[in-house]
Amino acid sequence: MRLTFKLVSVFMLANIVLAVVYGYLAVQREIRLFRESTHTEAHSLGKAMEGVLAQAYRNTGRQAVLECVRRANAEEEQLRIRWVWFDLQPGADDAPSAPREELTSISIERHFTIEAQDPAGGRYLHIYWPVKLQPDRPGGLEFSRPMAKLDQQERDIIRRTALLVGEMVLLSGILAAVLGLRFVGRPLRQLMEKIRRVAAGNLQGPVHVGSRDELAELAEGLNGMCEQLSESQSKVRKETAARIAAIEQLRHADRLQSVGRMAAGIAHELGTPLNVVSGRAELIASGKLSPDETQQSAVAIKTEAARMTKIIREVLDFARPSKPHKASVYLRQVAQQTVDLLGHLAEERNIRLCFAPGTELATTEVDVGQIQQVLINLIMNAVQAMPQGGKAEVTVGRTTARPPGQDGAGETTYFSIEVRDEGVGIPEEHLPHLFEPFFTTKDVGEGAGLGLSIAYGIVQEHGGWIDVASRPGEGSCFTVYLPQGAPP
């Protein structure tokens, strides 16, 4: 509605300006016609009376001149004619009606026009026509025409112009309230409502303004844009779903690869309790044990069976594909479980895997299986980086850091999980490419180069990142940064 009033106001202002200009030109036209008619009539009378007055003055004198002027006045309706002497002071009978300062020696040499007011306040147009009756005394005819009629015409024009302006203002207001609301205000409200729905994410429901103008074209364009956006969103959702499915497949494949690498160690881990179970079962079957010894053997068998069941369940839980599910957990417990799971594998390679839990509870919201997958990748890389044995340490703590790519931002407190090894290290030129898919420095058959890429993606989805520091021959340190969370 405001736009309608603005448009109508612009047109109304233009019409008012045109009306005022027209009124001004009309007033000037009336003034010009008034002057021209007065000049024409005065010129005709002056020409006609000039010779008559000169002859009358020579024959009879001043009285004959005044008589001629009187007769001319009797016949004239528009003009008042007087004989004046230009050298008389104002107030004398034959003095000019015009102000004295206007009657210069130059002006009285020819006929001229002066506007002046009489003592009563009325305006007059005086036209003076010099006539030489005496060589040494200037005189002439004074033609006077009252300007009251002209003033009345000016007032009429101004009144009509003001009335026209008022009618245009009233008509413009009606047009703005009725036609503007119908043809501009309502379609614009429909378009704005559609835009608000689009901004809120609702692309359904086309808008129809019910006209055939530019606003209708705008509505059609908006509807077409919404259709294209809806199709694009549908396509993006399908592509995103396919991408997520592919990422989950890669993560599951990487998880299975990690399970394969642990298989040898797990087989050895299961071998010891199986030997215990087998030996105890043989003793019971021999029948040589006392009741107490038989009971002890049964308890030992039960204990070792529970131990084997726990190992198998942990491996199955890790290898089984599952949807991401974040929960508030203690990072210390997640790291401890992962170190326990991989401890036997590290021992087989003459590597001492240590865990430093720190003093922080380190509670945050994560998907436990995904974070375990990250830690298994990092720990397995640390184990493979020490072919001659050594020490790998996992530490949980709290630190302040700035996310990568945000140099202007301030530092924020994060929980960190460090995996440090004493291995061969990583060349400096390889550090920028560590988290790229399919980039690997391992020998053929030891990895496809997806582990670190997948691990970085998992941590990034949790609102963190992975940093690495390494020097050839001095080992490496991978640090996982995760945001703080509420206590579980």
Tell me, yes or no, whether 300 and 217 share the same domain: yes
Tell me, yes or no, whether 351 and 471 share the same domain: yes
Q: Cα separation of 118 and 109, whole Å?
A: 24
Tell me, yes or no, whether 7 and 137 share the same domain: yes
Mean pLDDT, range 64-88, rounded to an integer: 86
Cα(first)–Cα(last) distance of the chain, in Å?
A: 56
Q: Cα separation of 465 and 184, whole Å?
A: 54
Whether 396 shows a pLDDT value over 50: the answer reads yes
Kindly indicate the confidence band of residue 445, based on its pLDDT and cuts at 50, 70 and 90: very low
Domain final residue, candidates 321, 342, 359: 321
Tell me, yes or no, whether 282 and 145 share the same domain: no
Point out the least confidently predicted range of 31-40, 327-336, 444-453: 444-453
H or E segment to which residue 280 belongs:
helix 214-286
Domain-embedded: residue 452:
yes
% of the chain with per-residue pLDDT over 70: 83
Point out the least confidently predicted range of 315-319, 372-376, 380-384, 402-406: 315-319
Q: Cα separation of 16 and 8, whole Å?
A: 12
Domain-embedded: residue 373:
yes
pLDDT score of 106: 46
Domain-embedded: residue 410:
yes
Sign of CA dihedral 143, 148, 150, 151: positive
The enclosing domain of 277 has a CATH number of: 1.10.287.130
CA-based nearest residue to 418, from 401, 436, 443, 430: 401
Question: What tens digit of pLDDT does each residue of 145-188 get?
Answer: 888 888 888 888 888 888 888 887 787 777 767 766 676 777 77
Domain-embedded: residue 281:
yes
Domain final residue, candidates 321, 338, 367: 321
Which residues are CB-contacts of 192 (< 8 A; sequence separation ≥ 6)?
A: none
Tell me, yes or no, whether 303 and 334 share the same domain: no
Q: What SS3 state is found at 488?
A: coil
H helices, E strands: number in the chain:
9, 11
Domain-embedded: residue 194:
no
CA distance readout (Å), 56 to 51, 84, 396: 9, 16, 136
Question: How many independent structural domains does the chain possess?
Answer: 3
The enclosing domain of 422 has a CATH number of: 3.30.565.10
Whether 444 shows a pLDDT value over 50: the answer reads no
pLDDT score of 105: 52
DSSP codes of every residue in 31-57: HHHHHHHHHHHHHHHHHHHHHHHHHHH
Mean pLDDT, range 357-381, rounded to an integer: 84
* β-strand partners of 400: 413
Whether 266 shows a pLDDT value over 80: the answer reads no
Mean pLDDT, range 438-457, rounded to an integer: 65
Mean pLDDT, range 67-84, rounded to an integer: 86
Which two structure tokens, joined as six digits, stand for 420?
A: 């440090």
Which residues are CB-contacts of 266 (< 8 A; sequence separation ≥ 6)?
A: 311, 315, 344, 345
Domain final residue, candidates 270, 299, 321: 321
Which two structure tokens, joined as six digits, stand for 51?
A: 């010779």
pLDDT score of 74: 85
Tell me, yes or no, whether 304 and 361 share the same domain: no
Domain-embedded: residue 22:
yes
CA distance readout (Å), 251 to 32, 256, 443: 98, 9, 21
Q: What is the value of pTM for the model shown?
A: 0.42
Tell me, yes or no, whether 347 and 488 share the same domain: yes
Q: Cα separation of 362 and 374, whole Å?
A: 17
Domain-embedded: residue 183:
no
Tell me, yes or no, whether 312 and 337 share the same domain: no
pLDDT score of 480: 93
Average pLDDT of every residue of the chain: 80
pLDDT score of 245: 78
Question: What tens digit of pLDDT does each residue of 107-132 get?
Answer: 566 677 888 777 777 888 888 888 88
Tell me, yes or no, whether 332 and 317 share the same domain: no
Point out the least confidently predicted range of 12-21, 210-219, 229-238, 253-262: 253-262
- What sections of 125-213 are H helices per DSSP? 148-175, 186-199
Mean pLDDT, range 238-242, rounded to an integer: 85
Domain-embedded: residue 383:
yes
Tell me, yes or no, whether 406 and 463 share the same domain: yes
> Is-contact 341 426, C-beta < 8 A?
no
Kindly indicate the confidence band of residue 481, based on its pLDDT and cuts at 50, 70 and 90: very high
H or E segment to which residue 225 belongs:
helix 214-286
Question: What tens digit of pLDDT does each residue of 277-318 get?
Answer: 887 787 788 877 788 878 877 887 887 787 777 667 656 655
Which residue segment(s) compose the domain that 108 sits in? 2-154
Which residues are CB-contacts of 117 (< 8 A; sequence separation ≥ 6)?
A: 123, 124
Contacts 24+ apart (CB under 8 A), 66-72: 69/141, 72/45
Question: What tens digit of pLDDT does each residue of 12-35 get?
Answer: 788 788 888 888 898 888 888 888
> Is-contact 482 364, C-beta < 8 A?
yes
Whether 358 shows a pLDDT value over 50: the answer reads yes
DSSP codes of every residue in 59-109: HT-HHHHHHHHHHHHHH-SS-EEEEEETTSPTTSTTS-SS-GGG--TTGGG
Tell me, yes or no, whether 259 and 400 share the same domain: no
